[in-house]
Amino acid sequence: MTDARIIDRRYSHYDGPRLGPRHAMRSVYIQTLRRVLGLHRPARWKVLPILSAVMAYLPAVAFIGIVALLPRRVHALVPRPEAYYGFVSAAIALFVLFVAPEALCPDRRSRVLSLYLASPLTRTTYLVAKILAVATVLLLVTLGPPLLFLVGLVLESAGPHGVTGFGREVWRIGASGVVLAGVYAAASAAFASLTDRRAVASGASLLVLIGSGAVTAILHFALGAPEWVLLFGFNPLSGVSAPFELVQRIHGLPGFVPGLDTAALVAACAAATWAGLLVCWARYRSIQVTR
């Protein structure tokens, strides 16, 4: 005789709070941000995010220091806020090659996508949360540094004058940041959806985006093709690309290719964004997942 007992606990229904799809999307969004930024991960996963942030924000800090510490005659060497995007193009390229593959590929490669879809998430809401996280990270380099630079100039009385001028610059910087983040987040997500290997997704993004800029530049500047072929160039490291050309127009500048119509640039960027999102959505709709 012993004191051992067999107790049949059975399975019971969950009767706790049910937070629903919004909470699930928010959880995936926050978890993705932490993953791509290297938070709560070993040090090697923090190298690329830190390097990208330094590349994006260091020029702004340096220019603000020049305005604050050096004589006024040196201020002419400091670019205007609308010219700052050339200094963050490398950081944008680095994030494009790294962020979306890190956000999307591991879930399929480790076969945990079915666990996400066993929650209140659907394929569409899962993708919305993931792509919003990718776009948020890109906004850190397309929106944050120019805004920091503008605020620094205003504090040193070297920026736009008056509330109207400051508000106009903030709107232009905000619109430019959203355009760049939207186009490149959608493109990067599309490439990442086609493979479960991060290196392959990064390599495909590099080849297509940089290759598109090289091909369109050769066609127009070397072979004399019409200017509209430049609408298909999306190389973030080249100023002659549709998104960066549109940014120039948002700031009221003629751009690098004044002959390009602004409406055509808007249409090209919108089409590229929607095409990337549709490719990603169609790919996830066709993935076979055992729930």
pLDDT tens digits, 216-245: 988 888 888 888 899 998 988 876 789 999
Domains in the chain, number: 1
The C-alpha atoms of residue 193 and residue 242 are separated, in whole angstroms, by 23
In a domain, 10, yes or no: no
> Is the CB of residue 25 less than 8 Å from the CB of residue 133?
no
pLDDT at 206: 85
Q: Write down the pTM of the prediction.
A: 0.88
Q: Is residue 252 part of a domain?
A: yes
Q: Is residue 154 part of a domain?
A: yes
- The answer as to whether 238 is a domain residue is yes
Please check whether residue 260 lies inside any domain of the structure.
yes
Name the band, by pLDDT with cuts 50, 70 and 90, for residue 271: very high
| 250 and 175 Cβ atoms separated by less than 8 Å | yes
The reply to whether 207 falls in a domain is yes
More confident residue, 50 or 34: 34
**Domain-located, residue 5:** no
Domain assignment present for 264: yes
Domain that residue 254 falls in? 20-286
d(CA 83, CA 86): 6
CB-CB neighbours of 256 under 10 Å: 14
